[in-house]
Amino acid sequence: MSGERRRTRTAILISGRGSNMVALIEAARDEAYPAEIVLVAANLPDAGGLERAAAAGIATASVDHRPFGKDREAFEQALDAVLRQHDIELVVLAGFMRVLTPWFVGRWQGRLLNIHPSLLPLFKGTHTHARALEAGVAEHGCTVHFVVPELDAGPTILQASVPVLPGDDEASLSARVLAQEHLIYPQAVAQVAAGTVRLENGAVVSA
């Protein structure tokens, strides 16, 4: 990159192995990619993705949510302090298994993204693949969206769909959706980091 444009300082929040995290790190290896992954943080100190991020040369942090008990906002304040220490501009959730409070969502409004394994607004919440199979839908998929206080209700940035095939089970359907997640999440993060897509008055606006 010739250096005219500064890359957006981005943090990825994880709770587990971070397969979407790896896809984002790979995309950001290209210096022309508009987001620079400068931090991977987890709410569990033994999250497998932390080791993978460190091996890729990225700073890591863990803020264990458990000592905070039911005080979710106190946990988020500690997490927010770590993000501010690293001058983070964009926060990307990649398998981060905590429901965020309105305080945190409001603090990062328009700069907080999530990927959900369904074609929202269908199948909000968990066990999306099992529910899709049970409902007998012909198509399933994934959605990248801005995070709002209501769970899985934020405006959509990108979606990808896959066919539900005869004989599919949770594992086969999940694998097909995950492959699409790894494609569209880096695309969506790039769009927001570059400023070509933004959140305005509760809607997604393209520049």
Average pLDDT over residues 8-34: 96
- pLDDT at 175 exceeding the cut of 80: yes
Task: Give the pLDDT of residue 22.
Answer: 96
- The count of structural domains within the chain is 1
Instruction: Check which CATH number belongs to the domain holding 162 and give it.
Output: 3.40.50.170
Residue 3 maps to a domain = no
pLDDT in tens, 36-72: 999 999 999 999 999 999 999 999 999 999 999 999 9
Average pLDDT over residues 66-92: 98
Domain limits for position 148: 8-197
Residue 102 maps to a domain = yes
Task: Give the pLDDT of residue 3.
Answer: 47
Task: Give the pLDDT of residue 5.
Answer: 75
Residue 204 maps to a domain = no
Residue 184 maps to a domain = yes
Task: Give the pLDDT of residue 4.
Answer: 58
The residues annotated as belonging to the active site are 116
- pLDDT at 207 exceeding the cut of 90: no
pLDDT in tens, 101-150: 999 999 999 999 999 999 999 999 999 999 999 999 999 999 999 999 99
What pTM, to 2 d.p., does this model score? 0.95
Task: Give the pLDDT of residue 1.
Answer: 41
Q: What is the 3-state secondary structure (H, E, C) of the chain?
A: CCCCCCCEEEEEEECCCCHHHHHHHHHHCCCCCCEEEEEEEECCCCCHHHHHHHHCCCEEEECCCHHHCCCHHHHHHHHHHHHHHCCCCEEEECCCCCCCCHHHHHHCCCCEEEEECCCCCCCCCCCHHHHHHHHCCCEEEEEEEECCCCCCCCCEEEEEEEECCCCCCHHHHHHHHHHHHHHHHHHHHHHHHHCCEEEECCEEEEC
Tokens (6 digits) for 35: 């987001």
Residue 202 maps to a domain = no
Q: What is the mean pLDDT of the chain?
A: 96
The count of residues in the chain is: 207
- pLDDT at 2 exceeding the cut of 70: no
Q: What is d(CA 118, CA 105) in angstroms, rounded to the nearest whole number?
A: 21
Residue 107 maps to a domain = yes
Residue 14 maps to a domain = yes
CB 93 within 8 A of CB 115: yes
Half-sphere exposure of 39 (CA within 13 A, CB side): 25
Task: Give the pLDDT of residue 93.
Answer: 98
